[in-house]
A = this chain, B = another copy of it.
């Protein structure tokens, strides 16, 4: 890729960004779009938009930028919880890292690379200059200038490690103070016990009661045995769908039924439709009641056990309860709204097998995904495209078209494929046996991260040169040399990738195109104006891996192709502003993990550093500076030592709270009169919502009352 192609790409994307910004600042002021651009404010009743028309509504403005900028961390904490704060810290941390990298990379390394003569390119024709001349490939072999690159690698690693330590420290102290300032939550007092042994002649509930009253006589409070409700949940879901359909039809009898009936009219039965649905609904509700009465007696070998104090609950989690370690397996309970119910019925063996199956499936998906990536990869080589599609030859010769294709198209197609991955990974994680939505999201985040690193970084790097992939990782000795050849070769692709995928995806996040379109269709075509709309939560499992991939690209290309760094810095600054705005207006936290996602960020950064060191070992070997190559070797070891210290110093704080913290909180509340009522509420906090709703609907839900005529007559 030549410089002008890059500039074209940058131009297009800058234009797109400004277009998105302008459109956003206009569209967000339209009252109909409040649900798209400020669903959170609407849900909280804070949306102050009127339907009055004025000119201001049509003018773009930058007020949101100021508001997002001025937001303090304390405000963010109260609005989005610690997870939101930690999410924003990723941007702050990355911006700091790359601000330093830009200073070193652009002002020191870039000129050195450019002055090199290795690629013997014409130095004066700047626009047609290959971007290769800005990379380390252009530095002469064996040149002493490479020692500057060598020092830069050492200094950069030190700075990143310092920032990582600082950030880990900051977030773990935030986590402790967040715990200190938190109100009593059911999950702090509760543990989940699984694999309760079967006693003959006793129900699980009695077994749990007798076990915990015997071994925790002073601190045991209550328990709630989980009931098998997966079938019931399915039925209720169906009933809900039908109920909504019936309600829609009976609410707008003329308009709705005539349109729908016209659509279905091809098969006759114009008026019967409503009756048909109602009948179906009655059947299902009868099933629900039958299932409900049988289900309530069908206990699963798992229970939520609540204690009087946080300390007692924590002590119970950490210790092996029964003599047999596969029985009475205890773990921290998630928040009631965070519980993922469908997988509770699974036995230890079933969960273990599904865990294995998911791991295999995950590896397979990660590997098989390469096929579309390889096709996309072909698009970056114009010559190949011309041989494949000879009829396009004329078109491809036009400078602009060829620049768009090389600079823009490949990463766009790749990105479209990648949109599917997070939901697949969430699905895989959810059948892996996790009991909390937050755990599923965290696990999916890790899966997506490895998927992204493998399929974007490694697949592009290695398929660009040859199909080494499988073989390379079976011959660890050759990895540095192979990467040293392959990685710099893909520098231009990744610069384009940052600009297209990074910039555009972030601004489209602001613009929320799909939601906007859905909302438009809903309002103008379906004419639905119901107040029930869901406030979305940040999809951490898809956002964090993307942000971390850019971090990986920046760190690995820091000394290879410093040209990538300014674009990354812009990306992180953009992301910082946009996501702060989104956290304020759009996303509401569904549950709170207390910043448990940070260790993923930390590990990913350490991995990126090690990868950079491995490439550096290869590069200095390739550039005929074997001394520098050997002198890099201590660096990954030191980084791993640093990481192992961090794991010891900070990681335990992300797993559980200390005795000191727990007892401090417990004692604060010792004389609190409201604790008694909280303890009472604990007893029923962990009811499966399916069972609750089943009973609720059985006792006639107000809105559905007219539809339950028959069933009520039955009871």
Contact = CB atoms under 8 A, between A and B. Distances in A.
Nearest to A471: B477
A652 B315 contact: no
A314 B650 CA distance: 23
Contact of A649 (B318, B326, B660): B326
A656 interface: yes
Contact of A476 (B321, B474, B657, B660): B474
B658 A319 contact: yes
Contacts of A316: 659
Interface string A635-654: 00000010001001111110
A475 interface: yes
Contacts of A321: 658-660
A684 interface: no
A215 B176 CA distance: 18
Nearest to A318: B318
A419 B59 CA distance: 88
A663 B215 contact: yes
Interface string A175-206: 01000000000000000000000000000000
Given A475-B474, A476-B474, A477-B475, A319 B314 contact: yes
A151 interface: no
A591 B323 CA distance: 24
A658 B474 contact: no
Given A474-B476, A477-B474, A653 B323 contact: yes
Nearest to A353: B641
A706 interface: no
B323 A660 contact: yes
Contacts of A326: 648-649
Nearest to A477: B474
Nearest to A179: B323
A356 interface: yes
Contacts of A476: 474
Contacts of A650: 325
Copies assembled: 2
Contacts of A657: 320
Interface string A648-687: 1111110011111101000000000000000000000000
A142 interface: no
B477 A320 contact: no
Nearest to A180: B323
A323 B649 contact: no
Contacts of A319: 314-315, 318, 656, 658-659
A322 interface: yes
Interface in A296-342: 314-316, 318-326
B325 A659 contact: no
Nearest to A216: B659
Nearest to A352: B645
Interface in A336-377: 352, 356
A641 B353 CA distance: 10
Nearest to A316: B659
A214 B660 CA distance: 9
Contact of A356 (B325, B641, B661): B641
A649 B325 contact: yes
Given A215-B663, A474-B477, A476-B474, A320 B649 contact: no
Contact of A652 (B314, B325, B477): B325
Given A325-B650, A648-B326, A663-B215, A656 B477 contact: no
A101 B52 CA distance: 90
Contacts of A214: 663
A474 B476 CA distance: 6
Contacts of A651: 325
A324 B176 CA distance: 10
A318 B656 CA distance: 11
Given A325-B653, A356-B641, A648-B326, A215 B320 contact: no
A659 B648 CA distance: 27
A180 to B, nearest CB: 10
A2 B320 CA distance: 57
Contact of A325 (B323, B325, B648): B648
B215 A323 contact: no
Contacts of A659: 215, 316, 319-322
A651 B320 CA distance: 12
Contacts of A649: 324-326
A325 to B, nearest CB: 4
A55 to B, nearest CB: 56
A652 B323 CA distance: 10
Contacts of A352: 645
Contact of A660 (B215, B356, B653): B215
Task: Select the residue from A215, A316, A474 with max chain B CB neighbours within 10 A.
Answer: A215
Nearest to A473: B476
A653 B323 CA distance: 8
Contacts of A322: 658-660
Contacts of A314: 319
A321 B662 CA distance: 10
Given A214-B663, A325-B648, 15 more contacts: A215-B659, A215-B663, A316-B659, A318-B319, A319-B656, A320-B653, A320-B656, A320-B659, A321-B658, A321-B660, A323-B653, A323-B661, A325-B658, A356-B641, A475-B475
8 contacts: A315-B315, A315-B318, A320-B656, A325-B653, A326-B648, A326-B649, A474-B475, A474-B477
Interface of A: 176, 214-215, 314-316, 318-326, 352, 356, 474-477, 641, 645, 648-653, 656-661, 663
